[in-house]
């Protein structure tokens, strides 16, 4: 029986049990980091509005 922690990936190792089988938890986290970094760089380069 899989141990579910409120549906969240809060403990190391539980992502594989909690996330749907079609989701790669490590890839999802890394993709989020890339998108967040891109948003930060764009915000820094964008002229600020007065």
Q: What is the mean pLDDT of each run of 10 residues along the chain (50 residues)?
A: 50 68 81 94 88
Identify the pLDDT of residue 43: 93
* pLDDT at residue 35 in the model: 94
CA 15 to mean position of chain CA atoms: 12
Q: What is the pLDDT of residue 46?
A: 92
pLDDT value, residue 5:
45
Instruction: Report CA torsion sign: 10, 12, 16, 17.
Output: negative
pTM of the model: 0.52
Domain housing 24: 1-50
Q: Alpha helix locations (H) across 1-50?
A: 15-18, 25-45
How many structural domains does the chain have?
1
Residue 7, pLDDT score:
54
CA distance 29 to 17: 16
Q: How high is the pLDDT of residue 11?
A: 57
């Amino acid at each position: 029986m899989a141990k579910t922690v409120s549906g969240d990936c809060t403990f190391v190792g539980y992502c594989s049990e909690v996330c749907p089988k079609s989701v790669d938890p490590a890839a999802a986290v890394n993709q989020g980091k890339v998108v967040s970094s891109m948003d930060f760089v764009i915000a820094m380069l964008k002229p600020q509005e007065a």
